[in-house]
Amino acid sequence: MSRLIDEIKKYKDAFKIKAPQEVQDKMLAATKKLEDTSISKNALTVGSLAKEINLPNAIGNEVSLFKTLEENDFAVVSFYRGVWCAYCNFELKALQGINEELKQLGAKLIAVSPQSPDASLTTKEKNELEFEVLSDNENIIAKEYGLVFSLAEELRPIYLSFGIDIPATNKEDSYEIPMPATYVINKNKEIIFSFIDEDYTKRCEPQDILEAIRKNS
C-alpha cells in the first residue's frame, strides 16, 4: 500500500511544475503566516473530552458522534476542507483504504467539512467512500474543536482562478474553513490520538490511526 505522504509529494511536485512561481510564493507565505499564529495550540487534543457532533450526512440524515460511540469502541473523526481540496481527497481515499480494518478494530469513521450536503454527496461519490461524510454548516462543530480560521484574502482570487468558490460550496458567505484534523475517540469520549496542522498539505498517515487504536484496544 502506498503511503499518503508519497501520494501528496507526487502531487506537490507536479503542482510546482505547472503553477506560476508568484502563485506558489503567495500560497507558501499564507501557510507560513498561519503556522506562525499557532492556532492549533487552541484545538482539542489528546486528553481532552470530545465535543458532541450531531450533523446531517450526505443524504440529510443526522449522525451523532456520541451515539456512534455507544455502538462502537472507537470513532475516528476527520475534519477536512472540502471536495475542492486535492489534499483532502487524497486523505479521504487513504482513509477509505483502511475502513475495513477500522471496522474490525471496532472503530467507526466519520468525516466532517463545512460544505453543503450536496457537496458532501459529491465528495462521497467522487472518492467512493463507504463512511459517513457530514456537513458542518458555518463550521459550528469545527469551532468547538478549535480548528477554524479564515482563508487569507490574498488567496481568494487565486482559489477562484483554480475554479474554487468556497462560499458557493459551503452555501454561506464566509471564507472560514477548518484546519485538517484527525481524532481517535474512545468509548469514554476521550481523545486518545490527534493530528492537527496549520499546513494543509500535511496529513495524518492512516497507519498511525490504526496503531493508536491497537495500542488502546
Percent of the chain as helix, strand, coil, to the nearest 5: 45, 20, 35
* pLDDT, tens digit, 9 for 90 and up, residues 108-130: 999 999 999 998 989 899 999 99
* pLDDT, tens digit, 9 for 90 and up, residues 7-31: 999 999 999 999 999 999 999 999 9
**b/e for 52-74, b at 16 or more Cβ within 10 A?**
ebebbbbeeeebebeebbeebeb
Provide, rounded to the nearest whole percent, the portion of the chain with pLDDT above 70. Answer: 99
* pLDDT, tens digit, 9 for 90 and up, residues 159-204: 999 999 999 999 999 999 999 999 999 999 999 999 999 999 999 9
Q: Taking CA 118 as the corner, what is the angle to CA 122 and CA 139, rounded to the nearest 5 degrees?
A: 105
Question: How far apart, in whole angstroms, are the C-alpha atoms of residue 163 and residue 149?
Answer: 21
Provide the sign of the torsion angle of the four alpha carbons 206, 53, 129, 169, taken in this order.
negative
pTM listed for this prediction = 0.95
In CATH terms, the superfamily for domain 4-215 is Glutaredoxin (3.40.30.10)
pLDDT at position 2 over 90: no
